[in-house]
Amino acid sequence: MNTADAIKEKRERLHMTQKELADAVGLGKFGDRTIRRWENGESEPKPLEVKAILNFPETAPFKNPEHAKYTMIDLFAGIGGTRLGFYQTNKVKNVFSSEWDKFAQKTYYANFGEHPEGDITKIDAKDIPDHDILVAGFPCQPFSQAGKKKGFDDTRGTLFFNIKEILKEKRPAAFLLENVRNLRSHDHGKTFRVIMKTLDDLNYAVSYALFKARDFGAPQNRERIYIV
* DSSP string across the chain: --HHHHHHHHHHHTT--HHHHHHHTT--TTHHHHHHHHHTTSS---HHHHHHHHTS--S-TTPPPTT-SEEEEEES-TTSHHHHHHHTTT-EEEEEEE---HHHHHHHHHHHS-PPBS-GGGS-GGGSPP-SEEEE----TTT-TTS---GGGSGGGGGHHHHHHHHHHH--SEEEEEEEGGGTTGGGGHHHHHHHHHHHHTT----EEEEEGGGGT-SS--EEEEE-
* Catalytic (active site) residue 186: no
Catalytic hit among 140, 177, 195, 227: 140
Give the catalytic positions in this structure.
Answer: 140
